[in-house]
Chains A and B, each alone.
Chain A
């Protein structure tokens, strides 16, 4: 069965609408491109392999860094992942997307390496902490009592005419975002990279990380908020300097 067709019918059943139809068509186009890529890879087309590496390498590195000690170890884990992809490509059955399959291999290898580095205790502690506690937005930013309790005491200031492109044209803003992502605990980093960097559908992220959709969006919100805070701190510092 075509996995994309299943996704489309499920989405339309859940909530009919233009948005779903459009994302469904986009999904079908992606699946077609992926099938073509797999055919090229199986024929030994080095250009196709380069394309695949260029597309996913940096996200794999960022994700691996959440599980292992340092950048060098992350590079090794990702290199091992690519080797495993090459060797297992003929056994890829298409039950998930190629991208999800590759990230699944990475997660397995990175966790395994992390355990060998004896860092698993720390990760378990972080996971339970992130899942159960910790509000996304600092509670001190809201009024604590009075008529307007729960409303902003320190509201975010508008970022004027910022767009993603303008923000990314500023190297210091990019550094602030990348630092914030690098510093995320693995549970938050995994969802941010899969969902926002790689654009993996929520259903696939949940399967890959073995979490519920509610849990996914709780984590995603916390991760986005930490990156937003980093940009806010940078932009406000920049304003004060002017």
Chain B
């Protein structure tokens, strides 16, 4: 991956600006003008490209993390309470 510093200047943004707005960028919350400027910088800067990709990957991986379940005894108590409560309404 190559860097094109002249484009960083053209974007008017520093890498620190990009890092500050990276979540807004990956979640597509930026106004169009800002999005274009950030996109221009990211396309020309290997460090920012890596940062934005990493943040996006972490966001997607977080959604897929393993989900531990309740202990068997707590699960049993909940089922019993659910069944008992429903029966008491009938």
Which A residues form the contact surface with B (CB < 8 A)?
A: 19, 44, 46, 49-50, 53-54, 57-59, 61, 75, 78-79, 82-83, 86-87, 90, 135-137, 139, 142, 148-152, 155-159, 162-165, 167-168, 174, 177-178, 181, 192, 196-197, 199, 217, 220-221, 224-225, 227-228, 231-232
Contact = CB atoms under 8 A, between A and B. Distances in A.
B24 A217 contact: yes
A138 to B, nearest CB: 10
Given A86-B81, A151-B16, 15 more contacts: A58-B68, A78-B70, A86-B78, A139-B16, A142-B15, A142-B19, A152-B47, A156-B47, A168-B65, A168-B66, A178-B65, A196-B59, A197-B62, A217-B29, A227-B58
A59 B75 CA distance: 16
B36 interface: no
Interface of B: 1, 5, 8, 14-17, 19-20, 22-24, 27-29, 45-51, 53-55, 57-71, 74-75, 77-79, 81-83, 85-87, 89-90
A63 B64 CA distance: 16
Contacts of B82: 44, 46, 49, 86
A54 B69 contact: yes
B14 A79 contact: no
| Chain A contact residues: helix, strand, loop or mixed | helix
Given A46-B79, A149-B14, A196-B62, A228 B54 contact: yes
A53 to B, nearest CB: 6
Contacts of B17: 150
A54 B67 contact: yes
A150 B14 contact: yes
